Structure 1
Amino acid sequence: MSQGSSSAKEDTIGLDVHALNELQQVNVPPTDDSLKYNYTADDGGVYTFEQPTAKIIRIRYDKKFQESVQPGQECGLLLDRTSFYAEQGGQIFDEGFIVKEQSEDDEFKVKNVQVRGGYVLHVGTAEGVFTVGDTVKLYIDEPRRCAVMKNHTATHILNFALRDVLKETDQKGSLVAPDRLRFDFSAKGAMSVVDVKATEEIVNNMVKKNELVYAKETALAMAKSIQGLRAVFDEVYPDPVRVVSVGIPVEDLEADPTGSGGQVTTVEFCGGTHLKQSGHIGDFVITTEEAISKGVRRIIALTGSEAHKAVHKQELLQKSVNELTQKIEDNSQTQQFTEKELNKNIVALDDEVAQSGIAYWKRDSLRSELKALKKKMDDIDKARKAAVVSRVTEESKKMIEADPDKAYTVHVFDAGSNAKALDAAMKQYKALSPRTSAMFFSVDQEASKILCMSCVPKDAHPSGLNAKAWVDQVVPLIQGKGGGKELSAQATGTNTQALEEAVQVATDFAKLKLS
């Protein structure tokens, strides 16, 4: 939660200007929050956090400082010192518990931690009785803090990687949360998929190096002289300022500020909490790259277990794409699946890929593969339809050759729902047997569709036969709709079971009109 987005209830707890004045007037010292950096890690990335004791110096709710708080009350605890990280610099606040040393049954659930004027306020709900002066023990949510630290260290490396790939870019904002990181940066346009992948690879390569992460307070003027150091320069930094570097001790950068050190790794001003080694980040995945305003882009990325889930998901999706590709290849021989089924599988898998939180470049790659499969199916469909048109054309030619002077013909072609095939047959009769009245049917059982098309020569019209009237005889039977004129008409219906009856009705009607 950002400092500017507190709810109305939290506003009754937070430290406003009046509260700060009140604290300063009685010389309450700012909170010692240096304990937030007190933790160690082994080579396997297992972190151990200090669980210090502190003293409650103020309790706040109802817009006032109170002497005590009862169970169930939401309030803020101001301590003399803390290991909890207060939200600032883009890093989200810590959560956890504060337990009264005298009675461990009395707990305070920390939901938010904010800092104002150097005073760190722990906001949450009392699950016991707390009084000013109580000694308490502090327990941060360690897995959550570790996840945040992974994302924060990864944010620094991402900033470096973007500079390497884009050359000219500046940080415009960031959010470091337990489940993701968000990084805003200046750019002339959208990053290409190749650039996004290259950025991700640079970060993962720095992770694999598993270099030490160094942090040290440095004189502001000295820190600013380090070549390659990254900072949001419209922000006001303290003096001394904390410098965080991956792989190169800050002392070495101070000793040679104009050297190449700041060009080959990430060096930034930062008061946040970081990992001890870059390798503890684990997997790193960029899931999104998008515009948020003119000239500003946003990347959302994952680390640790969330990134591992994304990597596993993309492996499963790649397997599904491979299996579907093989299914389509095999189907050209076995005809086990219909084109409709395969196209449906492509669309469903494409939707799943599009909505998945996998790597940005991998999502693009998988969708390109699926697009190629869709084109292949479209080509197969075009070829099949062209073959049907060719076959029906040849069949109609042979019918004409067998009886060129026939007065009428009613025929069923094996053309499915291919209207072009029936139209091709009609054109053959108009060109090669212009005195024949023709009605053609075809059925697509899978789509529950029946097609009907008719043509009548001009000289057949005086006898009473016209194409529209002819089609109108079968429309009710096929439960369809039709249209056309005296010389040409067509209809479509859904009652494919009525084909035989429709052919008989059409034949009887033509025989009656042309007798």
Structure 2
Amino acid sequence: MDSVDIRSRWLDFFESKNSLKLSHTVVPSASLIASDPNLLLVNAGMVPFKPFFLGEVKPPYQRATSVQKCVRTLDIDEVGKTTRHASFFQMCGNFSFGDYFKEGAIALAWELLTKSISDGGYGFSEDKLWVTVYEDDDEAANIWQKQVGVPKNRIQRRGMADNFWSMGVPGPCGPCSEIYFDRGSAYGKEGGPIADEDRYLEIWNLVFMQNIRGDGGDKNSFPIVGELPAKNIDTGLGLERTAALLQGVENIYEIDTTKMVLDKASALTKVKYGKDEKSDVALRVVADHARTAMMLIGDGVTPGNEGRGYVLRRMMRRTIRNMRLLGSQDLVIGELIKSSIKAMGPQYPDLISGSERILAIAQAEEETFTQTLKSGTSIFDLAATQLKSEKSKSLSADTAFKLHDTYGFPFDLTLEMAREQGLGVDEVGFRKLMNEQRDRAKADAKAKKSGHTDLTEYRAIVDKSGTSKFVGYENISAEATITGVLVDGKSVAEANIGAEIEITLDRTPFYAEGGGQLADGGKIQLSNGAVIQVEDVQSPLPGLIVHRGSVVSGVVKSGAPVVADIDLERRLAISRAHTATHMVHKAFREALGETATQAGSENAPGRFRFDFPSTSAVPISVLNDVESRVNELLIADLQVHAQVMSQDAAKAMGAIALFGEKYGDQVRVVSVGDWAKELCGGTHVARSGQLGLVKLLSESSIGAGVRRVEALVGHDAYQYLAREHVLLNSLTEIIKGARADELPQRISELVEKMKSMEKELSAVRSAKALAATSQIANKAKKVRDINLIVEQLESEIAVDDMRSIAINLREKVKSGVVVLSTINSGKPLLVAAVSPEAIKLGIKAGDLIKIGSATLGGGGGGKDDFAQGGGVDVLAISKALTEITKLIEGKVN
């Protein structure tokens, strides 16, 4: 039984429980990107339903079922070494929100597991199944023994650590009952799950959520402070583990969806699976991680150095490295991702439609990491060899840091490689060096942005001529002397026209990028007529200001006198943005409290962005209040002034200091009237009225617990509102008789009306197609004893109606096969209905849909008697129907 079938049987079983009035609502898998701010990724099937269990949101249904994509990385180092750990898995779940409880959950689980395959079940032998219950849960034990009929000797009791579930924090919790499959004496000793969990493999966990957990304790003991007002059910069956048992393979790495990737890795490396344990572990890591990486990229994660981006990057790097260990030196990630898409596409068709994007992201990451891996591995191997010759057992912090800082080699990979060599790593020393590096991060970033110049070149300038005096608060132009000229990172005596240069001056009005404010632009002119167009300004060393640009005329010589002129229009636009940022910052702290402290900003000409901590989106009403408050103070035309004082004095006057920023003993405080006071080294306007107007554009999340507001200021804000006004007038012209304030309601009414008309039109088309079933049935083609109907119907027929039409036709033609197609929402749709007589000949609806959907560039599946699918290529419908017809005729003939 393949994974697609296991998945569809699960959903069909719970959805079809109408006779017992236990029909479950099928809920599609949520994205792996968790909406829960406490989670990087969805790691359990119940995560999307967590608000219902916590009582935060009323569930829209009493019963639900899903097959949820999950990623767990806590045991990433165990992946491949054991046959039970996987980073990506699918959790089949059924959930009850105050509806059925223990008796219903246990009965449903036993029915699905033991029902015959022909009747839609999984066909597990009853005498192979064992169950565990919480140590004092007599109710569950009695249901298993007296109502289900499980012998008492196959019901085992376990403690809180194994059979009591909670989220690890105060909230809902309850006892569990787990179902295990006995794989036989070849896999371990007798005695049930408490004796050997390799032989007795857990496949289903039933959580009876009935209690409330208090604070404190650990997984072995925590306080139970009460009963939930409504009892809930949360169950989870591991699809991959179930597949391993039903497919008769040794472990989860050998099931259909993982083995396909493993086989591809084996073919690429020419290393046969089963050769030896070391290569088997590497192949299993590749198969697991490549599939996980593909699923993460499919859900919108991109490789990065933080959060879920780092999880993805680590997965990909482990995949690439293990392929190298297996002997492949080629770029392989593309082929592995293609195999992963092929394996999982039938269950998640969006992987197929998004394959181009997924491949592009994966291949770009591999190309970047390949060089990192090559250089880093060489350095590590040399260090490991030297350590062994010196009979030392630990890699130094300096070596680990050099691998990380110089070669971009991940520290966790260094730890992993060291373990493989039987070596340790000075982790404490490494962390210390990392902390020191963070203190230098800003200067390092600026140095790189200034042309990758070695810092020693800058130090030589400072040693010879001193630092640069910034005179830009008072002046937009200044006479100065060139103290250094650099080309390609090296000091030179002169530079000619066309040269990209860096230049330092003894004094300058140019503001170097810092504190969220972008750098000034402008020109530097020499008395000999030479001109430098300044594009960027940085401060790679304290007190040294480096101007980066190009020589547009003449010859630039070190030591020459110059006149430095900033671009005044750019400076004023940036200054307006910076002052606006201070004001918005203060207004948010008033509205949301002092926790809304700036966590980052960028002040650009005419626009700015402001980041701040918040666990949830800021209500529109608050955004409106902040915008209104700031603009009222623009009208008040408050004086903006700066003062230099001690830090203690700044604190005493209530000035805001930004978290993470470093300040000297003397600080510069910028005040907007007596209202907003903030430590800042940037440039600002003289009065708040010079901002003109501030318009907040958007508020969004940029990471866990961090929000970003983007806004316009001055002329840019005016132009934006002017465009909005023109658009508003255009809409009032289009929607005759509507005032501007009536537009939202009128447009909403029109949209609803259009939706209603589309539904009516779809219903008419469906009714027309259904009415024509007799006519379509007359077109049935006789192939031996099978009546065959393969037809393309009118467009925009709903999926449910297509199902009804197909089943209706199958009943009309009796022994037959019905395959119908239509175009719905611009995409091709296929359904297939097959009679019992045709199924006996080997014609299965799921097989027909698979080949048809693949031709359409999509996927699908279902049961033997009915299946549905689709794709993206509407031009391939005719070809898809032809391929399906060939398959049917091949089976019959």
The normalised TM-score by structure 2 is 0.36
The equivalent of 1:353 in structure 2 is none
Structure 2 counterpart SS, 1:11: coil
Cα distance between partner residues in 2 of 1:369 and 1:479: 38
Structure 1 pair 471–304 and aligned structure 2 pair: CA distance change class (3 A): farther
Query: Cα deviation per residue 1:331-362 (whole Å; 9 max; x = unaligned)?
Result: xxxxxxxxxxxxxxxxxxxxxxxxxxxxxxx9
- CA shift, 1:164, in A, is 1.5
- The answer for the alignment partner of 2:640 in structure 1 is 213
Structure 1 position 366, deviation (Å): 7.7
**Hey, what's the Cα distance between the residues in 1 that align with 2:449 and 2:608?**
28
> Is 1:244–2:673 an aligned residue pair?
no
**Alpha-carbon contact 1:149-1:275 (below 8 Å) kept:** yes
1:11 aligns with 2:451: yes
Provide the residue aligned with 1:22 in structure 2. 460
Q: Deviations over 1:441-489 (max 9, x none)?
A: xxxxxxxxxxx4559xxxxxxxxxxx722899xxx9x996896267599
Q: CA deviation at 1:112?
A: 1.0
8 Å contact kept, 2:671–2:678 = yes
Cα distance in 2 between the residues matched to 1:172 and 1:182? 11
Superposition deviation, residue 284 in structure 1: 1.4
User: Which structure has the larger Rg over C-alpha atoms?
Assistant: 1
Show the counterpart of 2:726.
316
Secondary structure of the 1:60 match is strand
Percent of paired sites with the same residue: 30
Q: Is 1:304 aligned with 2:714?
A: yes
Q: For residue 230 of structure 1, what is the aligned residue in structure 2?
A: 656
Equivalences for 1:215-364 in 2 at 5 Å? 215-227=642-654, 229-248=655-674, 265-326=675-736
Measured in 2, the distance between the counterparts of 1:296 and 1:126 equals 42
1:224 positional shift = 1.3
Distance 1:176 1:323 in 2: 38
Instruction: Provide closer, same or farther for how the CA distance between residues 38 and 57 of structure 1 changes in structure 2, counting only shifts above 3 A.
Output: same
Match for 2:582 among 147, 156, 170?
A: 156
Aligned match for 2:486, one of 57, 60, 68: 60
Q: Distance in 1 between matches of 2:822 and 2:601?
A: 59
User: 1:96 aligned to 522, 529, 547, which one?
Assistant: 522
Q: Shift of residue 125 of structure 1?
A: 1.0
**Residues of 2 paired with 1:71 and 1:20: CA distance?**
23
* CA 140–9 in structure 1, closer or farther in 2 if over 3 Å, else same: closer
Structure 2 letter corresponding to 1:319:
N
Distance 1:279 1:136, change over 3 A: same
Retained in 2: the 8 A contact 1:56–1:136?
Answer: yes
Check the 8 A contact 2:446/2:538 in 1, yes or no.
no
Q: Distance in 2 between matches of 1:231 and 1:480?
A: 68
Distance 1:78 1:272 in 2: 20
The amino acid of 1:213's aligned partner reads: V
Aligned CA distance change for structure 1 residues 453 and 12 (closer, same or farther; 3 Å): closer
Determine the C-alpha separation between the residues in 2 that align with 1:7 and 1:215: 29
Amino acid at match of 1:469: N
State the structure with bigger RCO (CA 8 A, min sep 6), 1 or 2: 1
Mapped partners of 2:600, 2:444: distance in 1: 15
Cα distance, 1:166 vs structure 2: 1.0
Tell me which of 102, 106, 112 is aligned to 2:536.
112
CA distance in 2, matches of 1:231, 1:299: 20
The whole-number CA distance in structure 2 between the counterparts of 1:5 and 1:247 is 34
Change (3 A) 1:224 1:454: same
Please list the CA deviations of residues 281-301 of structure 1 after superposition, one character each: whole Å capped at 9, or x if unmatched: 122122221111221111111
SS in 2 for 1:202: helix
1:140 — aligned with what? 566
Amino acid at match of 2:752: K
Is the partner of 1:171 in helix, strand or coil? Answer: coil
Q: Give the whole-Å Cα distance in 1 for the aligned partners of 2:696 and 2:724.
A: 13
CA deviations on 1:154-181 (whole Å, 9 max, x unpaired) are 0000101111211231111111111421
Who is 1:375 aligned against? Answer: 752
Task: Identify if the C-alpha distance between structure 1 residues 202 and 471 changes in structure 2 by more than 3 Å, giving closer, same or farther.
Answer: farther
Task: Mark the runs of 5 or more structure 2 residues left unpaired by the alignment.
Answer: 1-441, 782-788, 795-804, 824-893
CA 1:469–1:420: 2 relative to 1, 3 Å: closer
Aligned to 2:777: 468
Contact map agreement 1:321 1:370 (CA 8 A) in 2:
no
Structure 2 counterparts to residues 319-468 of structure 1, below 5 A:
319-326=729-736, 370-379=747-756, 417-420=764-767, 452=772, 454=774, 468=777
Q: Report the alpha carbon displacement of residue 420 of structure 1 after superposing the two structures with TM.
A: 4.0
Q: Which amino acid aligns with 1:37?
A: Y
Counterparts of 2:614 and 2:746 in 1: how far apart (Å)?
29
Q: Is the 8 A contact 1:12 1:61 kept in 2?
A: no
Q: Does 1:185 align with 2:605?
A: no
| Kept in 2: contact 1:13–1:61 (CA 8 A) | no
Larger deviation, residues 288-297 vs 270-279: 288-297
Amino acid at match of 1:73: A
Match of residue 446 from structure 1: none
1:470-485 map, 5 Å: 484=809
- Matched-pair contact (CA < 8 Å) for 2:450–2:538: no
Quickly say closer, same or farther: Cα 1:9–1:204, change in 2 above 3 A.
Answer: closer
| 1:469/1:486 contact within 8 Å kept | no
* Structure 2 Cα separation of the partners of residues 240 and 8 of structure 1: 28
Distance 1:3 1:373 in 2: 56
- How far is 1:61 from its partner? 2.3
Measured after TM superposition, the shift of residue 188 of structure 1 is 2.3
State the SS of the aligned residue for 1:37: coil
1:503 aligns to what? none
Which residues of structure 1 form unaligned runs of 5+? 40-49, 249-264, 330-361, 390-416, 424-439, 441-451, 456-466, 495-515
Contact 2:576 2:606 in 1 (8 A): no
Is residue 2:474 matched to residue 1:38? yes
TM-score by length of structure 1 reads 0.61
Q: Which residue of 1 aligns with 2:596?
A: 169
Look up the equivalent residue of 2:469 and give its one-letter code. D
Q: Give the C-alpha shift of residue 86 in structure 1.
A: 0.6
